[in-house]
Chain A
C-alpha cells in the first residue's frame, strides 16, 4: 500500500509538469500584460517594472526561471497585489476555502446519501418523485441565482443570518455559503446514490440477505448501501477538489476571502504568477483526491487491489 501511494505520487509529477507548462504558455499567449490596466505609465517606469519582474527576458528563460522557483516551493510575487507573494495570498485564502468546501462536501454526502437512499427504497412513489424533482431543480439552478436569493431571504428579509462577510470564520457566517455550495452537490449525490442503490437492492446478494431473514436495517445498510456507495465515491474525487479550492461566485457574492476569486481576477489582470499559483494548487488537489478516492475504493471493495 505504501509502495502504491509512492508510485502514484511519483506518477503525478509528470502530470503536474504538463499542467504547469500548458498553463504557463497559455496565459502568456493571451494579449496584454500585468501592468496594462493601470494608468498609462511612463515608458521608463514600465521598463523598470518589466525588468524587476523579469518580464523583459525571453519567454523560455522566464519559463525555466519559474520552474526552478516552483521546484523550490517559491510561487513568486504577485504582480497586482503588490507587497504580497503568491504564497502569502494562498496561505491566507486556502483555509477559508477549505473550511467552506469540506463542510459543503460533508453536507452533500450526508444529505445527498440519505435522500438517495430514501428515494431508492420508495422507488416510483411520490417520495421518490419529490426527491428527484428537487434534485433536478438543484442541479439546474445556477449558484449565482441561488446564492443571492439565500442572502436576500435569510440575510436581508428575515435577518436570521449574516448576508455576507467572513467575520473571522464565525459559524453563523458560514451557513449560507455552505448551503449554496452544497446544494448542487447534494442533488448530484442523491441522484447517484439513488441509481446505484436501486441496482444494489436488486442484486443477488441482497436477495440472499432477505432470504436469510436479516432485518431491513441490515439488508439496506450493511449489504445494499455499501456497494451502492462505490459509484458515488468515484464521483467524489473531482467534486472534492473543486469544492475545496473555492468558488469565485460564492466568494464574490458573500464577500469571502477564499482563493476562488484569485483564479479569475488573476487571469483577467494577467497576474501571471497568481494564476500559476492557483493552477498548481487546484492540480495538486485533483491529483491528491483521486489518489484518496482510489485508496478509499480499495478499502470499501476487497476485489480492488493496489495495482
Chain B
C-alpha cells in the first residue's frame, strides 16, 4: 500500500494584498495527514489556521495568494489549473465550514445541494444522485430524511444543517475531510452529537480528517495528532496525548491553561435582594388572524420564571440556544414586554412606563455578546463610554465626563489614551472591555451580561472573566451572567439556573448543581461540555 500522505503541506505561505501593503497570514507551515488519520490544527483567531487550508485548496479571497507546496497524494495543488483542481475538490478532498447558517445556499432545496457534487463528479444521473442523497441524509441521521430532502436550509436547525454539510462532504467517498471549526456555532449537546457522528463515519468509511479548531477539548477527545499554530507559524506538533501531557512550548501551555479558573463563594444569605422576578412570562407573536392580517403562532419564550438576585451575587443562567435565557435577561431589565412582577430594590418596576423607568436604568446595565455589533462605529471610545452620563448625569460638564471616561477605562485595564480612537481599531477582547467600561461608568448595581465572552478566544475569555470578578469585589455589583458555556459559568457564578424551552429546569448553588445535577437535561449538558471523550468513547463502543 502506498504510504504517501493524503495531504502534505511544505512551507506553505498565504499572503493578502491590502491597502496598507501585503499581509502575511500564513508564514511557511508544514504538516502532513496520513491515510485514515485524524489530525487537528489548533490556534486562536487570526492564527491563520483557516487561511492555510483555503490557500491549499485554492479558495482564497480574490486578494489572496498562496505559494509553497500543498500536495494531495503527491500531486501539487498550489498553482494547479482550476479544472484539474475541481476534479479533486469535492471528489477526493471535501470541506465543511464553521457557519452552518450560511454555508448552504439559502435558495435551493437540500436534495439539490447534496446531489450537485454527485452529478458533477460521480457522473450520476439526476435520479441516481437523488437516491444517493437520501441514503446520505439517512447516514448522517437526519430524522425524517425523505421529507427533509425537500426542505430549504432555513427550515433546518443549525445542527441539522451541519449534518447536511457532512452528507455533502461524504457524498463522493473522499480520502480527506477538512473540517473548519464545524461545531463552533453549535450548542454543546449538538456539538457532541456531530463529533460522535464524524468519529463514527470515519471508522466506517476510513477517510482522514483534518480538524481545524480553537477548542482544545475537541482536540483531546478527537485527534490522533495535533499541530499548534500561532501568528501564521506552527509552534508545536505531536501526538495529542503527548502534547497535552507535556507541552514543549509556553504558548501551548498557555492555551492549555486557558480554561477559565477560580470559583466564587456564595453571598451571605442575609445580603439584600436587589432584583426579583416573580412568574415572569414573555410571549412572542400570538396575533389573531383577520382577513387582512395573517395569524402568527404564539411562542412562549419565557414561562413562569421566578428568581432573586442578591447584592454581590452572580447568578449564572445556562441553556442551549433558544432556551429563552437572553429573553429573560432583557425582560428583567424591561427591555421587552413581559407579564409577572419585577422588583428592583423593593420598587415594582414592572408597572413603570418608559419615562418612569429611566432613572432606574442607571442602576441596571447590560453588556452584549457581540463586541463588533454593540459599539457604534461612528463614535469614539470616549463618547461611547460616557454616552449614558448625558442621560443620567446631564449636569456634569464635558471635562468631568472625560475624567469619568478615563476612570472607567482604567478600571477595565485599558490605556485611557484610547478614548479618542474608534472601535474598529480594537480587538474583540478590547472591545468587550470598552462595553464593560460603558456599563461601569454609571456605577450600576446590576449588570446583565449576555454571553459576554462567547465571541472571544479562550485566553482572552479568561482575562475578561478575571476582570469581571475583580470589578465585582471592588464595587459590590450583582451580575446576571447569561451563557451557554458551562465552564465559564462555573468559574464566575455562585448560583446557577438551567433553562430549557423557556422554563427553569434546575437551580441552586453553582457547586451543587455542577457536582450533583438533579435532572437528566442538566446531566446531559454537563457530559457534553466536560466529558466529550467519554461521550465519544461510549458512542464508539
List of B residues within 8 angstroms of A206 by Cβ: 105
Please tell me which one of the listed residues A202, A203, A212 contacts residue B116 in the complex, with CB atoms under 8 A apart. Answer: A212
Q: By the criterion CB–CB under 8 Å, are A213 and B120 in contact?
A: yes
Selected interface stretch from A96-104, A135-143, A214-222: A214-222
Q: By the criterion CB–CB under 8 Å, are A10 and B94 in contact?
A: no
A-contact bits for B221-264, CB 8 A (1 contact / 0 none): 00000000000000000000000000000000000000000000
Complex alpha-carbon distance, A213 and B119, angstroms: 11
For the complex, is B103 an interface residue (Cβ under 8 Å from A)?
A: yes
For the complex, is A57 an interface residue (Cβ under 8 Å from B)?
A: no
Of all chain A residues, the one with the shortest Cβ separation from B120 is A214
Complex alpha-carbon distance, A203 and B103, angstroms: 8
Please tell me which one of the listed residues B59, B88, B102, B294 contacts residue A205 in the complex, with CB atoms under 8 A apart. Answer: B102
For the complex, is A204 an interface residue (Cβ under 8 Å from B)?
A: yes
A-contact bits for B75-87, CB 8 A (1 contact / 0 none): 0000000100111
Complex alpha-carbon distance, A15 and B259, angstroms: 61
Complex alpha-carbon distance, A13 and B104, angstroms: 41
For the complex, is B107 an interface residue (Cβ under 8 Å from A)?
A: yes
For the complex, is A226 an interface residue (Cβ under 8 Å from B)?
A: yes
A-contact bits for B97-136, CB 8 A (1 contact / 0 none): 1010011111110000000110011000000000000000
Complex alpha-carbon distance, A92 and B117, angstroms: 55
Complex alpha-carbon distance, A123 and B291, angstroms: 49
List of A residues within 8 angstroms of B528 by Cβ: none
Q: By the criterion CB–CB under 8 Å, are B106 and A227 in contact?
A: yes
For the complex, is A146 an interface residue (Cβ under 8 Å from B)?
A: no
Given A207-B97, A218-B120, A302-B152, the answer on whether A213 and B90 have CB atoms closer than 8 Å is: yes
For the complex, is A199 an interface residue (Cβ under 8 Å from B)?
A: no
Q: By the criterion CB–CB under 8 Å, are B154 and A303 in contact?
A: yes
Complex alpha-carbon distance, A213 and B95, angstroms: 11
Which chain A residues in 279-307 approach chain B with CB under 8 Å?
A: 300-303, 307
Expressed in whole angstroms, the minimum distance between the Cβ of B286 and any Cβ of chain A is: 15
Q: By the criterion CB–CB under 8 Å, are B97 and A204 in contact?
A: yes
List of B residues within 8 angstroms of A123 by Cβ: 62
Please tell me which one of the listed residues B85, B97, B105, B165 contacts residue A213 in the complex, with CB atoms under 8 A apart. Answer: B85
List of B residues within 8 angstroms of A223 by Cβ: 105
Of all chain A residues, the one with the shortest Cβ separation from B101 is A204
Please tell me which one of the listed residues B57, B61, B86 contacts residue A214 in the complex, with CB atoms under 8 A apart. Answer: B86
Of all chain A residues, the one with the shortest Cβ separation from B180 is A211
For the complex, is A209 an interface residue (Cβ under 8 Å from B)?
A: yes
Given A211-B59, A212-B89, A213-B85, the answer on whether A204 and B99 have CB atoms closer than 8 Å is: yes
B-contact bits for A127-157, CB 8 A (1 contact / 0 none): 0000000000000000000000000000000
For the complex, is B91 an interface residue (Cβ under 8 Å from A)?
A: yes
What count of chain A residues pass the 8 Å CB interface test? 29
For the complex, is A7 an interface residue (Cβ under 8 Å from B)?
A: yes
Of all chain A residues, the one with the shortest Cβ separation from B104 is A205
For the complex, is B147 an interface residue (Cβ under 8 Å from A)?
A: no
Q: By the criterion CB–CB under 8 Å, are A211 and B90 in contact?
A: yes
B-contact bits for A38-68, CB 8 A (1 contact / 0 none): 0000000000000000000000000000000
Complex alpha-carbon distance, A222 and B117, angstroms: 13
A-contact bits for B346-376, CB 8 A (1 contact / 0 none): 0000000000000000000000000000000
For the complex, is B496 an interface residue (Cβ under 8 Å from A)?
A: no
Q: By the criterion CB–CB under 8 Å, are B94 and A212 in contact?
A: yes
Complex alpha-carbon distance, A165 and B168, angstroms: 60
Given A11-B292, A223-B105, A226-B107, the answer on whether A212 and B90 have CB atoms closer than 8 Å is: yes
For the complex, is A159 an interface residue (Cβ under 8 Å from B)?
A: no
Q: By the criterion CB–CB under 8 Å, are A302 and B107 in contact?
A: yes
Q: By the criterion CB–CB under 8 Å, are B82 and A216 in contact?
A: yes
List of B residues within 8 angstroms of A302 by Cβ: 106-107, 152, 154
List of A residues within 8 angstroms of B292 by Cβ: 7, 10-11
Given A11-B292, A205-B106, A302-B152, the answer on whether A215 and B61 have CB atoms closer than 8 Å is: no
Most buried by A among B82, B89, B104, B107: B107
Complex alpha-carbon distance, A207 and B104, angstroms: 10
Which chain B residues in 284-343 approach chain A with CB under 8 Å?
A: 291-292, 294
Given A202-B61, A211-B89, the answer on whether A303 and B106 have CB atoms closer than 8 Å is: yes
Given A11-B292, A307-B294, the answer on whether A214 and B90 have CB atoms closer than 8 Å is: yes
Q: By the criterion CB–CB under 8 Å, are A210 and B102 in contact?
A: no
List of A residues within 8 angstroms of B87 by Cβ: 213
Complex alpha-carbon distance, A208 and B162, angstroms: 13
Complex alpha-carbon distance, A205 and B104, angstroms: 5
Given A11-B292, A210-B59, the answer on whether A204 and B102 have CB atoms closer than 8 Å is: yes
Expressed in whole angstroms, the minimum distance between the Cβ of B336 and any Cβ of chain A is: 22
List of A residues within 8 angstroms of B294 by Cβ: 307
List of A residues within 8 angstroms of B106 by Cβ: 205, 227, 301-303
Expressed in whole angstroms, the minimum distance between the Cβ of A135 and any Cβ of chain B is: 21
B-contact bits for A1-28, CB 8 A (1 contact / 0 none): 0000001001100000000000000000
Complex A-B: 9 CB contacts under 8 Å:
A204-B97, A207-B97, A208-B95, A208-B97, A209-B116, A213-B117, A213-B121, A302-B154, A307-B294
What are the 5 A-B residue pairs with the smallest beta carbon separation, nearest first?
A212-B90, A213-B90, A213-B89, A213-B86, A204-B102
Inter-chain pairs besides A212-B90, A301-B107, 11 sampled, C-beta below 8 Å = A204-B102, A208-B95, A208-B103, A208-B168, A212-B116, A213-B85, A214-B120, A215-B120, A216-B82, A227-B107, A302-B154
